[in-house]
Amino acid sequence: MSLTTDDPLAAAREILAAQAFNTVVGAELTDFGDGRAELVLDIADHHRQQYGVVHGGVLAFLADNVVTFAAGSVLGTGVITAGVDVSYLRAARAGSLRAVGSVARHTARHAVCTAEIWLEATDSDPELCAIAQGTIFATSRT
Amino acid sequence: MSLTTDDPLAAAREILAAQAFNTVVGAELTDFGDGRAELVLDIADHHRQQYGVVHGGVLAFLADNVVTFAAGSVLGTGVITAGVDVSYLRAARAGSLRAVGSVARHTARHAVCTAEIWLEATDSDPELCAIAQGTIFATSRT
Amino acid sequence: MSLTTDDPLAAAREILAAQAFNTVVGAELTDFGDGRAELVLDIADHHRQQYGVVHGGVLAFLADNVVTFAAGSVLGTGVITAGVDVSYLRAARAGSLRAVGSVARHTARHAVCTAEIWLEATDSDPELCAIAQGTIFATSRT
Amino acid sequence: MSLTTDDPLAAAREILAAQAFNTVVGAELTDFGDGRAELVLDIADHHRQQYGVVHGGVLAFLADNVVTFAAGSVLGTGVITAGVDVSYLRAARAGSLRAVGSVARHTARHAVCTAEIWLEATDSDPELCAIAQGTIFATSRT
């Protein structure tokens, strides 16, 4: 895809806006650059599973996406994710989810990233809801 | 949640129908029972990412959900997924995705499951798009 | 390292013999080629942990090594393993462990492999003790 | 197994000493308690693979063991590891490996832990060689 800006965060937001699946999920990119990315999602009814808490698939989507953006911040826009390992720690019921991705190490061709997904609610301290690891390749695609 | 049927597949479909997040994703449960579950998703535009292929988060959702249903078929409806490891093998562009989950082993308290996600298109043989492993606990919740 | 044979299984056995760590573990390569590899380990006292069963680290070693050999059978001898996800299913007490690695998919630059580790004892049917997934890169190293 | 001490670190060292497999690997437990554990291994020739660097199986052993000890520090001595996901970041050639395990979250019945394995060499800053996640169950076994 072609981008209309050279500003890294603005360009990354254009990429996220081009993800049709995110238009139904609704995450926003709040940080991007230097091996780090952050997605924020306001929990809404359509994110829930049968017990009323956020679906594991939503957490897995955030984990997958935030490790990929974190990797993209060092590898460039042409990246493909080889895999992601998600461990669920706590049910998330209401508030916002903040997914923070960080590059643990990268070469020119790949990056290994970690992610933490925090629940932020108005009436309590942030709580860690999920952790993840992901491996991302650089491609020649731009 | 309370179910209106004793038929395992019908009951599992009620659970899937109660997942608000799946109403925006749109997977259907086509098999359930004896340590096995199968979800089918017709690929639509809102499943895509910036390159036009199915978003990794959609594959991760299918993997998470199908290993959990497979586990539920032997552990009962009260289950919670501890984690899922997804490896992406191929981009999926058009057709249907068939996610097949199987219990590799289970005790009374937990199950370890594997999943395969196949792309089925009219003009080609099925292709394996992702594989996954998941660990699921039984809870006292019913 | 330089190999003295063109026979794939014999060459792979030379590589295993060059792994100093395996001289203390003691696995043997019993199959290699066409996206598949198999390691067999006779369980001995020095493989155990505090409860007398095979240490998880031994199973993780077998998983790591067998997915890497399986990948090497399609990528060539220059490979580096990006990661491995191991799920432990059953304690292994006595007999032999057979680790079977298979390529799920590969490109010229990488492979994703799965592994199963089976316990084979004289007095019972084989039992699945662990499953694993691994991602392996091709390098220019030969 | 029965322990001869109530001191947590000393008791955990007795457990490590009872792991026959570690007598051939040679890790030492340098910290234990409050959701944290640390293993140190002086790299020796028998830890290497065919390229002369530490075998991935050694790193996987350290990851498996250190997340299990970290979990044991909050769950008690009766624990069983469900699985471990290891990502390899850098080859380790010489010096010491320091594996640090931490509990990300735990309940009475299980813990999810992360691990980092650092290479410490005399002539350079510590380098992160591997990261891992693990899920560990409490058992009634003591």
Query: Where along chain C do its domains lie?
Result: 8-138
Chain B hits for D133, CB-CB cut-off 8 Å, are 83
The span from the CA of A129 to the CA of A60, in Å, is 11
The span from the CA of B41 to the CA of B98, in Å, is 7
Q: Is the pLDDT of residue A140 over 80?
A: no
For A9, the token pair is 């965060």
Chain C hits for A135, CB-CB cut-off 8 Å, are 82-83, 135
Reported as a pLDDT band with limits 50, 70 and 90, residue B77 is: confident
Give per-residue pLDDT as tens, A74-125.
Answer: 999 899 999 999 999 999 999 999 999 999 999 999 999 999 999 999 889 9
Picking from D102, D100, D98, D101, the residue whose alpha carbon sits closest to that of residue D126 is: D98
Give per-residue pLDDT as tens, C69-114.
Answer: 999 999 998 999 999 999 999 999 999 999 999 999 999 999 999 9
Is residue C139 less than 8 Å (CB to CB) from chain A? no
Of chain D, the percentage scoring pLDDT greater than 90 comes to 90
pLDDT at residue D44, as a whole number:
98
Q: Kindly report the average pLDDT of chain B as a whole number.
A: 95
Q: Is the pLDDT of residue C141 over 50?
A: no
pLDDT at residue A142, as a whole number:
39
Chain A residue with minimum CA distance to D88: A112
Is residue B137 less than 8 Å (CB to CB) from chain D? yes
Query: Residue A82 in contact with residue C110, Cβ under 8 Å?
Result: yes
pLDDT at residue D142, as a whole number:
39
pLDDT beneath 50: ranges in chain D: 141-142
Chain C hits for A109, CB-CB cut-off 8 Å, are 137
pLDDT at residue B142, as a whole number:
39
Reported as a pLDDT band with limits 50, 70 and 90, residue A72 is: very high
pLDDT at residue B4, as a whole number:
86
Query: Could you tell me the CA-to-CA distances from D103 to A97, D73, D100, D113 in Å, in that order?
Result: 21, 9, 10, 4
Chain C residue with minimum CA distance to D78: C51
Inspect the interface and report whether the beta carbons of A83 and C137 lie closer than 8 Å: no
- Give D11's DSSP letter: H
- Contacting residues for C114 by C-beta, under 8 A, at least 6 apart: B131, C67, C101, C102, C104, C131, C132, C133, C134
Inspect the interface and report whether the beta carbons of C49 and D20 lie closer than 8 Å: yes
CATH number of A8-138: 3.10.129.10
pLDDT at residue C140, as a whole number:
62
Reported as a pLDDT band with limits 50, 70 and 90, residue B140 is: low
The dihedral through the CA atoms of C43, C49, C51, C54 has a sign that is: negative
Inspect the interface and report whether the beta carbons of C135 and B105 lie closer than 8 Å: no
Query: Residue C70 in contact with residue C129, Cβ under 8 Å?
Result: no
pTM: 0.96
Q: What is the dihedral of CA B20, B26, B31, B33, to 10 degrees?
A: -20
Query: Residue D114 in contact with residue D131, Cβ under 8 Å?
Result: yes
| A67: helix, strand or coil | helix
Q: What is the mean pLDDT of the segment spanning C120-129? A: 94
Is residue C10 less than 8 Å (CB to CB) from chain A? no
Q: Is the pLDDT of residue C56 over 90?
A: yes
Reported as a pLDDT band with limits 50, 70 and 90, residue B92 is: very high
Give per-residue pLDDT as tens, A9-47.
Answer: 999 999 999 999 999 999 999 999 999 999 999 999 999
